């Protein structure tokens, strides 16, 4: 797959996911915006706009089988970390976080027929960020920072996706994971130890000596916990 794409830089939109999907005409299409009025997080989570934010969505056909599309969220996370910096870690399956666990960016992959739209939201500058959130910069980087980051991310993602789901950087994801080695709970399960990421991007958890695999398309939220939770 070529890494070329067409880019549309907008101001405030309802959803960059919807904009990218509607503007896609066979060539990868990147839409960026400074704010979203109806942005959506994973599982329909409420969308928050930072003081200076980036909302970016890339629509393309990765030619991946439908069952592998959830893995693109992890691949997109790796691409985001390459652009945002190795000081950040990846919280399975869709967040980029600091070493202390504060979220700086989130990812979302959606498929409609043959089109996949992968979204990324980044907190660029947020002096009054709510608990659990953090900004990439301590001062406002200005209006050009978002599109520049989005363009670099799109290039990284398209290159990684062209390798196919069997050749994604599993070792790199394991090394960057903030989830492995922790105790986690999820929608209706846990606590359990997060012990591995499998070849298809599933989170392997161990509970009472038994292991199972959580799939990103089936679990709405993963949270760190303690054995007394």
Given this model, what pLDDT does residue 39 score? 63
Whether pLDDT at 225 is above 90: no
Given this model, what pLDDT does residue 2 score? 47
Pairing verdict, β 35-36 and 12-13: parallel
Q: Taking residues 171-177, report their average pLDDT.
A: 98
pLDDT in tens, 208-220: 999 999 998 777 6
Given this model, what pLDDT does residue 222 score? 81
Given this model, what pLDDT does residue 228 score? 46
Q: Taking residues 3-13, report their average pLDDT.
A: 91
Cα distance between residue 108 and residue 110, in whole Å: 7
pTM: 0.92
Residue 199 tokens, joined = 């070849």
Given this model, what pLDDT does residue 223 score? 78
Quick check: helix, strand or coil at residue 210?
A: strand
Whether pLDDT at 68 is above 70: yes
Q: Determine whether 177 is exposed, middle or buried from the number of CB atoms within 10 Å of its CB (0-12, 13-18, 19+).
A: buried
Q: Higher confidence at residue 221 or residue 80?
A: 80
Given this model, what pLDDT does residue 43 score? 52
């Amino acid at each position: 797959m070529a890494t070329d794409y067409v880019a549309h830089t907008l101001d405030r939109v309802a959803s960059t996911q919807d904009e990218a999907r509607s503007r896609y005409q066979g060539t990868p299409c990147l839409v960026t915006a400074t704010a979203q009025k109806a942005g959506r997080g994973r599982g329909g989570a409420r969308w928050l706009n930072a003081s200076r934010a980036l909302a970016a969505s890339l629509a393309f056909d990765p030619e991946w089988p439908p069952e592998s599309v959830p893995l693109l969220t992890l691949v997109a996370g790796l691409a985001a970390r390459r652009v945002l910096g190795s000081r950040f870690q990846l919280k399975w399956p869709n967040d980029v976080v600091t070493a202390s666990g504060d979220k700086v960016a989130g990812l979302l992959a959606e498929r409609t027929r043959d089109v996949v739209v992968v979204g990324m939201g980044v907190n660029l500058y947020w002096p009054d960020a709510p608990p659990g959130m953090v900004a990439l910069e301590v001062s406002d980087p200005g209006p050009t920072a978002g599109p520049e980051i989005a363009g670099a991310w799109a290039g990284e993602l398209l290159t990684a996706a062209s390798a196919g789901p069997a050749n994604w950087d599993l070792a790199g994801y394991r090394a960057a994971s903030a989830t492995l080695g922790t105790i986690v709970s999820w929608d209706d399960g846990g606590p359990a130890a997060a012990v591995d990421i499998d070849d298809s991007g599933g989170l392997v958890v161990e509970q009472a000596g038994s292991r199972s695999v959580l799939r990103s398309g089936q679990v709405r939220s993963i949270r760190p916990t303690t054995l007394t939770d």
